[in-house]
Structure 1
Amino acid sequence: MSVAVPRKGRPLEAALERFAAVAGADAEALADSVASTLRYEKAVTKGRQTADDGVYERLADYSDPAGGGPEYTLVRDDRKGHPRRVVFDSARLDVAGTDVRLVGREEPFRALRTHEFALGFDSADLVLEEVVPLDPEGVADLADVNARIDPRDTDVRVTTGLGDTVRHTLMARPETLPAGADLDREFVAGYEGPLCISPRYERLVEAVLGTGALDGVEFVYPEEGVEEEAAIAETGLGVYLTVTGGTAREHGLVLGADLFPSETVLLENEAETTAATDALGRALGRGVETAIRAE
């Protein structure tokens, strides 16, 4: 059985950790190996590490399909010069007696939409941006996302959030807020003026807040080379990702409402579901707080 997973980054690590939680020591070893390899390769790509061997030599050294280990491949990174970057390609695991092949995809959600897979993992952000229509009312959680998906548009649904949560959070300078006001959705609905966001999150922010709350709001964006929290502090109000909020506070910002969880999710194409994929999906979602479907 094949399951689509991201090729790199936090969503891939979260997916591998979920398999480790249900499949034991071999899956734990795989998760640790892949995470350490790709973190090192990311550092090489960004110039924080210098590799002794060339990228093809490293690729051959990392990949061990004959010995039951993972395979890796190369993609062109979007950074200046488009360097080649090592990313996850595939691996096999035994999950409760089921032979599962993890297959790396740039955007697993889209692979599920085209019926290549019955199960896969991807970012909740991508699902929200791809298939949730813009409505006057916003969305707040993963259940809202499923409720907004048009069944005529896709057979894919979110079944479980993995809890590796970074949140899209409202931030503001204290003087932007009237005395006693809460920095929440209601405040944005009554606000008129600039709202600073990263341009890649424009449609996501529109879907999360709802178009009704954005009347009179003008999106502005950080200048090149300026970090998002600094740009929000300059603007007065904005939305960006937070984990602890430490960087925002360093810029004098007040943290407001958490708008939407940016977490990795388990996805299912309902048209491709079989008894075997359904059983695996339930096993992967067992014990996770943000499960959407009933057991």
Structure 2
Amino acid sequence: MTTRVAVPRKGRPLEAVLERVASLAGVEDRADAIASTLRYEKAVTKGNQTDERSVYDRLADYSDTDTYAPEYTLFRDARPGMPRRIVFDSWRVPVEDGELHLVGREEPFRALRKHEFALGFDAADLVLEEVVGIEPEPLGSLSELNDRIDPRDTDVRVAGGLGDTVYHTLLATPDVSESPTREFIEDYEGPLCISPRYERLVEAVLGTDAMEGVSFRYPGEREEEAAIASVGMGVYLTVTGSTARDHGLRVGEQLFPSETVLLENPPERSADTDALLEQLVGSRLTTPL
């Protein structure tokens, strides 16, 4: 039995999926090779690496006729010049009682919404950005996501996370707050610097009550930490907070985990997808039908 799972074509979420699948199926070497190849191709696209081979020659070099070899494809990158970038396309992995087929998609979450897959991995951020309802009360954990999804909007639910967590975190200059928290934001009135793509996410995570009197500012061409330092208060993804501190910012409360999550579309569910889901994420956030 082959179970198809939609996955991102590149980036941290894909690497988290590869790591989890590798530990499940004992294929660490091949998973590491995929991740290394994609990191190298990203560096070439960004101009941090040079390669005398054309992108088509490199794609041919990465190709293999082995059934269980990974496959790659070309993606038009949005960087200046619109370069061709090699990204993940497909990988068949033998697992207990069958085969797991990872299929690359630009937007796995949307592929599940269209009932193309029963299971898929994507960033929790995207769920917040697209379908989670914005309410007066703040949203603080993955376990709360499904309760905020309108069933009339989509069948897709979050089944569980992979633990590759970085956090959307409150940052502030010391003259605004020495230790910014949700409680501080409830009384705060003024500018809040965020990435434009996270506007809806921040509203959901902080809640509309806390957003009263708050106006968004955007980094533009500036580095996010530098932009937040000039505004005085902001929300940004942090791992250690060291770069924020280098800009004189205080690292405050972690608001919401930016984590790779396993998504499921319950109408497409089967005994096989349920068994695989349990292997991939263990205890689930959703309730089986």
TM-score (norm 1): 0.94
Alpha-carbon shift at residue 210 of structure 1 (Å): 1.1
Which of 159, 179, 183 is 2:180 aligned to? 183
Does the alignment pair 1:107 with 2:107?
Answer: yes
| 3-state DSSP of counterpart to 1:14 | helix
Which of 226, 230, 244 is 2:226 aligned to? 230
Offset from partner CA, 1:170-192 (integer Å, 9 cap, x none): 00011102xxx752111111111
Does the alignment pair 1:292 with 2:285?
Answer: yes
1:81 aligns to what? 81
Rounded Cα–Cα distance in structure 2 between residues aligned with 1:131 and 1:67: 37
Letter of the structure 2 residue corresponding to residue 166 of structure 1: V
Alpha-carbon shift at residue 292 of structure 1 (Å): 2.2
Letter of the structure 2 residue corresponding to residue 206 of structure 1: E
Rounded Cα–Cα distance in structure 2 between residues aligned with 1:221 and 1:185: 20
2:15 aligns to what? 13
Q: Which runs of 5+ in 1 are unaligned?
A: none
Letter of the structure 1 residue corresponding to residue 224 of structure 2: E
Task: Show the 5 A alignment for 1:12-31.
Answer: 12-24=14-26, 26=27, 28-31=28-31
2:159 aligns to what? 159
| 3-state DSSP of counterpart to 1:230 | helix
CA contact (8 A) 1:3 1:118 kept: yes
Rounded Cα–Cα distance in structure 2 between residues aligned with 1:111 and 1:63: 26
Task: Show the 5 A alignment for 1:89-238.
Answer: 89-177=89-177, 182-224=179-221, 226-238=222-234
1:51 aligns to what? 51
User: Which moved further from structure 2: 198-207 or 7-16?
Assistant: 198-207
Alpha-carbon shift at residue 52 of structure 1 (Å): 1.8
Rounded Cα–Cα distance in structure 1 between residues aligned with 2:248 and 2:100: 48
CA contact (8 A) 1:135 1:207 kept: yes
CA contact (8 A) 2:67 2:92 kept: no
After TM superposition, what 4+ stretches of structure 1 lie above 6 angstroms from structure 2? Answer: none
Rounded Cα–Cα distance in structure 1 between residues aligned with 2:169 and 2:30: 33
Does the alignment pair 1:248 with 2:244?
Answer: yes
Offset from partner CA, 1:30-52 (integer Å, 9 cap, x none): 21011000000000000000012
| 3-state DSSP of counterpart to 2:274 | helix
Alpha-carbon shift at residue 83 of structure 1 (Å): 0.4
Rounded Cα–Cα distance in structure 2 between residues aligned with 1:67 and 1:261: 36
Rounded Cα–Cα distance in structure 2 between residues aligned with 1:205 and 1:68: 41
Alpha-carbon shift at residue 67 of structure 1 (Å): 5.0
Aligned length: 286
Q: Which runs of 5+ in 2 are unaligned?
A: none
Q: Percent identity?
A: 66
- Superposed CA RMSD: 1.4
CA contact (8 A) 1:65 1:71 kept: no
Alpha-carbon shift at residue 66 of structure 1 (Å): 3.1
Alpha-carbon shift at residue 29 of structure 1 (Å): 2.2
| 3-state DSSP of counterpart to 1:69 | coil
